[in-house]
Structure 1
Amino acid sequence: MSSVPLQDFDADQLAQFHEDIKRAFEDLKSKNLKLDLTRGKPSSEQLDFADDLLALPGKGEYLAADGTDVRNYGGLNGIEDIRSIWAELMGIPVEQVLAGDASSLNIMFDVISWSYIFGNCDSTQPWSKEETVKWICPVPGYDRHFSITERFGFEMITVPMKEDGPDMDAVAELVKDPQVKGMWVVPVFSNPTGYTVSAEVAQRLAEMETAAPDFRVVWDNAYAVHTLTEDFPEVIDIVSLGEQAGNPNRFWAFTSTSKITLAGAGVSFFITSADNRAWYTNYAGIRGIGPNKVNQLAHARYFGDAEGVRAVMRKHAASLAPKFEKVLEILDNRLAEYGVAKWTVPTGGYFISLDVVDGTASRVAELAKEAGIALTGAGSSFPLHNDPNNRNLRLAPSLPPVEELEIAMDGVATCVLLAAAEHYAS
């Protein structure tokens, strides 16, 4: 086994390696694979964990704890039955929590679009009236976040996502500009790196001075309880931190049950200040007449309490952990000795961030496609899909069974090696 990085191979060694790995790639293509590592979807096994939910709340079971008939209109805040469970899980006052429909992304789109059209509760004018709107995007980051700010034409400014959160020195400098209106943050097991924002970084986000009085942090805590181990992460009460720092409206926080129960039929949660809630419901009450409270009651009955949520998440961890272990094992066995890639080793969430040789990520994705392995496109973890180094790929191990995942990842490793060999030979 070689202990020399591929870039240090002499010409003859590199030519032989290139020939060998190209032969392995041709063999890979001959298998006519159809494997998908594109999105962090729960597997069928994970979705089966929530089968009991499909029979809830049950015939004749339609009253919330406060006597509300959940079959009827109204209740913009959602029912307290499910809000109280999530408040306990997040360690926050129930008053901070609104419960909505299946997708927290829908609410994120709402609050940004309403700020654009009407301004938020701290705005002097709608964002659409601004000369330009700038938005801070930690990278690598979540492609669907970037798609929202892209759709509104915001100027997206990248900062590095470090192991303890966004590069706060860079953020603190950027927010001196009054046109910088917000930023994205995935605080726990971030997409795609699996990094978690530290208490110190959270405190700096809460306390920092911003030139824009209506600056907002979208704190998307999508993976707050998505551990791969026995340990659940600490949940930071970011809204209260903002209040204590004199910035009570700074944080729009979100989470949901989407990868806990049924991905397309869960409950979303919007956690924020009283003023932000009043601003939100003012427009939400025009857009609709309340969320699906029947589904909220079903979820409340299914979980029972916060410990019920954790019990479900232990099942997910048991399903997901072997898949992550297999991916990491293959990356280590196939790539480590050649020095052609680096990757994160998350303890929760749904993704692994893979950095390959600079300039080759798009080639790796192209080769994988030729071999019948679908990867999320190179650059997807950057605004406008523009990874300036063309190095980052996002791996999503959750959907395939372990046997298929092993075949797919062995194939990905072959593609990484072939792209690297081509690069160094050129």
Structure 2
Amino acid sequence: MTERIHATYWLETGVDPQLAADVIAGEQSSGTFVALPTETPELKARSGARVERLDVLDRSDTPSLPGGIEGKVYTRCALELSWPIENMGPSLPNLMSTIAGNLFELRQVSGLRLTGLKLPQSFARAYPGPAFGITGTRRLAGVERGPLIGTIIKPSVGLSPEQTAQQVRELVAGGIDFIKDDELQGDGPHCPFDERVRAVMRVVNEHADRTGKKAMVAFNLTGDLDQMKRRHDLVLAEGGTCVMAVLNSIGLVGMHELRRHSQLPIHAHRAGWGYLSRSPQLGWDYAPWQMLWRLAGADHLHVNGLRNKFSEPDDSVIAAARSVLAPVMPEAPMAAMPVFSSGQTGLQAADTYAALGCADLIHTAGGGIFGHPGGVAAGVEALRESWVAAIEGVPLDTHAERHPALRAALGFWK
């Protein structure tokens, strides 16, 4: 039996919904804007996309997007399409073109959002997925249970390698588990990548030699493919345990090739996610989007955070984190670690834990750590103790009575 790819969409159209669905199916497989003699019934049966389901949800008097065919009413539907794997083979770049190519700009479409994706097993055979995931990350970071307590080096840019290393020195002395470059910090003249890695790893390695605890640092190696490979090799040679890449900047091919080369976990940043997702009538849901990046090899995936500084609501954040923890497909779990960030403090720990039911995550706080009145070490301790309280089911104020660093943090977190 032929393997098929299934994708679901929220569709809005000003024309007959069945016509719009057929146009999308044809555009994304064997058809074009006019009937051609070479698109025979046999060819369509073999290679054409199928409309598997089309359910009317509701209607609107106005279109969500401009530029479409005007209608008296705009029908909103749940649409499911499927394609035979033979159209493209198990290829992530060509999958992207098929499920999210020339659909969104069709005149028959006044709104379209990719909401779900189901892939055949051949993709799992072609793409091994994360090399480290949750288990390997915990092993390298030395954190057996609870979340990895992390932070981001700030300011985003402008610090020298020595200034960056000084911030890292304070963090590792305070017991931090995880540190990441900001996505804007690359290889600029103020802080060259090579100098930054050597300066930071001297601090990390010296601390590990003294204490036995080695913080995981995700160095942002985003760049051309040869640059990323060379930068990875430097991090590995200096004793580093993680690298970071910005997904929308390097693309699926860059991510897959980095995964093939890498001997370290890949921390995947989703910078630019808003332009794919912020309009509810256009773009992607996170669940299908992250599947492609996990198959390509991402070990950690950003999901924003509860009560964050951006526009994403809490239910969307939790749905994103659950999708990262869920299997890509039943026979290929490919577990990755969700990364919570953006305006985070210990105040979100209990709700995050309750919503996920586990602590297999990285919880990063910048100002929530660096802003502690008792200093960085107290900030790390306070965030960690907030998670102890969350996992043990103890109210934060009650737990703070026995932990001065947490008690002090409550004053400035709130």
Instruction: Please give the TM-score of this superposition, normalised by the length of structure 1.
Output: 0.29
More relative contact order in 1 or in 2 (CA 8 Å, sep 6+)?
1
